[in-house]
Amino acid sequence: MYVGSDSLQSLVMARRLLLLTREIEKHRKDPTAETKSFKEIMEEDEITLSGGTESTPVAPTPGQATAGPDNLDIKLSDLCKRLDEVRDQIPAEAPSQESVTITQSTSTSLEVDWLGYKPVDGLAVRDRHFAETNLYTFDFIDGSTFKITDKSTGKSTTIWGDPHVDTSDQDGSNNGDFSDLTSSETHTTFSLRDGTKVIFTARDNDVIESVDIIKGDQMVHGTGSADPTFSEQSGLFDIRLRETSSIPQLSQGDVVYAGGDGNDWFDAAHHMVWGMTTGPLAGSTPRSVLQIHYSEQVRQTLSADHINTSI
């Protein structure tokens, strides 16, 4: 009978698996007995099959009886049956799995502010950081940050940096720049709904040098950090009100006009420059305002572990 190379290789592997089975059974009967590894079995069997002198040849001559542990007289059907049994005894390679863990944490915060407004006649300066009219408040937070708030809507516009414009109802802190306006590189005026004008002296690529708030014939002057004379003691608002008739007329430069929801700004042609209309139109100034600030933060952490499981 002709045996192909693939069939011959299968028979050789079956023989070696049978030899390995002997070693396994030997170890089961006596765990202390010395046994051979599968590598050692393969090396010895390779020598035997190649005609080496260390072991008895594997194939007996015709008519020759088999003898010794290395000579096997095996029926093909028994060999296949035994091969299946050996395969069942050999543990399968553990499959690989990905274990994915998602951890989620949620944090919330709630802040409630109550603001009471008293009627203001004209323009009032409360301290070096704060001034107001009946409709607006002005916070000179530091030498480069100035905040305008519409009392009737609670919305605000912050001028900061060199200078940027931040509207409170838009995402992010940079919703525009003074450089968006091109008529003047040194002066920008915010014209408010009650007739108040806030005139900034600030180069388009520099911080606030000064700010002047004018309502009617009253004016308050503020010194910003770009002024060479600025210091913690001399900067921000001058708490003394001035009469506009006693000072030279100021250049207004670029002018933007307050819209109806408190912090949207338009040019003279009624084109929106900064902000967006996100709420009802402003009304009269309330006596008090209750502001609720709610925020929720959700964090998710994703981790993957590579694990092996035995079958």
Residues 49 and 136 in one domain: no
Residues 52 and 116 in one domain: no
Strand, helix or coil for residue 59: coil
Phi and psi, residue 119, nearest 5°: -55, 140
Is position 311 within any domain? no
Better-scored residue on pLDDT, 176 or 288 = 176
Q: Does 56 score more than 60 pLDDT?
A: no
Domain total in the chain: 2
- 246: DSSP letter: G
CA–CA gap between residue 209 and residue 222 (Å, rounded): 9
**Least confident range of 45-49, 125-129, 164-168, 202-206:** 45-49
- State the pLDDT at residue 251: 92
| pTM higher than 0.75 | no
- State the pLDDT at residue 311: 39
At 47, list the tokens: 């020598």
Residues 80 and 111 in one domain: no
Is position 145 within any domain? yes
Picking from 55, 89, 123, the residue at the C-terminal end of a domain is 89
CA–CA gap between residue 95 and residue 235 (Å, rounded): 72
**Would residue 3 be called left, alpha or beta, if left means φ above 0 and alpha means ψ between -120 and 50 degrees?**
beta
Phi and psi, residue 128, nearest 5°: -65, -20
Residues 235 and 262 in one domain: yes
Is position 307 within any domain? no
- State the pLDDT at residue 42: 75
Is position 304 within any domain? no
* C-alpha dist (Å) from residue 182 to 4, 179, 185, 254: 90, 7, 7, 7
- State the pLDDT at residue 129: 97
Residues 51 and 118 in one domain: no
Return mean pLDDT, the chain.
79
pLDDT band at 70 (very low <50, low <70, confident <90, very high): very low
Q: Which domain holds residue 259?
A: 107-299
- State the pLDDT at residue 249: 85
- State the pLDDT at residue 90: 53
Q: Does 20 score more than 80 pLDDT?
A: no
pLDDT band at 130 (very low <50, low <70, confident <90, very high): very high
Better-scored residue on pLDDT, 31 or 277 = 277
**Residues 101 and 281: beta-carbon distance below 8 Å:** no
CA–CA gap between residue 255 and residue 42 (Å, rounded): 93
Is position 66 within any domain? yes
Is position 267 within any domain? yes
